[in-house]
Amino acid sequence: MSGFADYERHDALGLAELVRRRQVSPSDLLEAAIARVEARNPKIDAVTSRTTLVRPEARARLLRRLSYELEYRTTRGDAAGVNR
């Protein structure tokens, strides 16, 4: 898994907190999530459209949106839209 090896040790709130503290970047989280999907999907076949995973422009767009959401919401005290 690239970028962030401890991805699976945290839930969504924990990951958002790491981003808020700038211990991990949103791009590292995105790459870790994509790597996790790519590693597991052949066995479970849960992701039917890989467009977002493989097209660079789609990946970049998703990363921009994720970065915005995490930065905006964590500075407001939310964890990516999940209130504590």
Domain ranges of the chain: 7-76
- Residue 58's pLDDT band (boundaries 50, 70, 90)? confident
The whole-angstrom separation of Cα 20 and Cα 54 is 27
User: By the 8 A CB rule, do 21 and 48 touch?
Assistant: no
- CB count within 10 Å of CB 30 equals 18
Predicted TM-score of the model (pTM): 0.60
- Work out the percent of the chain whose per-residue pLDDT is above 70: 75
Inter-axis angle of helices 12-20 and 56-76, nearest 10 = 80
The whole-angstrom separation of Cα 64 and Cα 27 is 9
Mean pLDDT of the chain: 76
Q: What angle do CA 39, 31, 82 make, to 5 degrees?
A: 105
